Structure 1
Amino acid sequence: MSMFNNECADRAAQTALQLVTLERARQVTVKGYDFHHDDEHDRGQLAIAAAAYLLPLWLNPDVAFVENNGLSVLPVIDFIEQHTFGPFERHDGDYSETNVQVDLRVETLITGVALGLAEIERLLRLKSAMEANS
């Protein structure tokens, strides 16, 4: 049985959406990751970065990829920095669920969801442009 009631769950969902919206606005206004910037990343970089933030580090700490006709293995954070638009800031904890660890994980997840939102926005702009040109 959950320790939360429906009202608490509803409030958490609303807060989560607000936090993601605020993070996306911060990415645009503070970091300069506006639609011009995002549209330059048309090879899945935004989705890759989002996925890296969303996955717990213990799940997949390394990534294998083909480079110069050979297989290379890098820590996922280094791979993201080299293949997207690093530097990559990530907060993972030991999942002991202390307040600090939960806060850091929530912050990381919010960043990942906001990056996913940026990719959705980019794809919707692309679709709109394609429809306008057909």
Structure 2
Amino acid sequence: MTKTDTKIASAGVVPYSSVVGSSVMLLNAAGACVGQLGIVGVGDQAAQEAVAQRVADAINAEAVTTNSKAVADVLVERVRQVTVEGWSHEHDDEHDAGEIAAAAASYSFNAYLGQSVRSYAAEAVGFWPWDLDWWKPTTPRRDLVKAAALILAEIERLDRVADQATQGEAGE
């Protein structure tokens, strides 16, 4: 867990957020800032601001304000994948053969197997699309958070493909 993740987790429920440029300010119920997520490495400034707005909108959505730690953890993990690991939209778009979904399936299946230590279980690794150096299971809950964030990444990728197809049809 990164220093930022720890601060967010220790802040407890984050029922509100506000976008400032390409950062998402995490606010508690009293309106005090308890954390900040900087969106970087996602295209230009406008793209970063759009991602920041999407994260803020998700945090402000009804599903998150029902005090769901799970939803908040998935959003933090997705932001971590983009900002810390550098898995930008452009990078994700290169994986158009189902690799991101397969990675999510691997982590999900590993959680099903109940592996609570670093595992190279053949059943889960059988789905893994990349070099085993990138296979980093931990606990069943953490593996499910990673899986959910990867599912979100794949849905976002599919949405971009659909948007590009729609724009292509409009331009014909």
After superposition, the CA RMSD in angstroms is 2.1
Residues 71-106 of structure 1: CA deviation (Å, up to 9, x unaligned): xxx92454445x336511112xxxxxxxxxxxx221
Number of residue pairs matched by the alignment: 96
Are 1:38 and 2:92 counterparts? Answer: yes
Q: In 2, distance between residues paired with 1:27 and 1:90?
A: 15
Higher RCO (CA-CA < 8 Å; seq separation 6+): 1
Q: Given the superposition, is the C-alpha separation of residues 48 and 115 from structure 1 closer, same or farther in structure 2, using an over 3 Å criterion?
A: same
User: For 2:107, which of 53, 58, 66 is the aligned residue?
Assistant: 53
Unpaired runs of at least 5, structure 2: 1-65, 115-120
Unpaired runs of at least 5, structure 1: 1-9, 60-73, 92-103
Are 1:114 and 2:149 counterparts? Answer: yes
Runs of 4 or more above 6 Å deviation: none
Deviation at 1:50, TM superposition (A): 0.5
Q: In 2, distance between residues paired with 1:24 and 1:85?
A: 21
Residues 30-87 of structure 1: CA deviation (Å, up to 9, x unaligned): 001110110010000000000111123538xxxxxxxxxxxxxx92454445x33651
Structure-2-length-normalised TM-score? 0.50
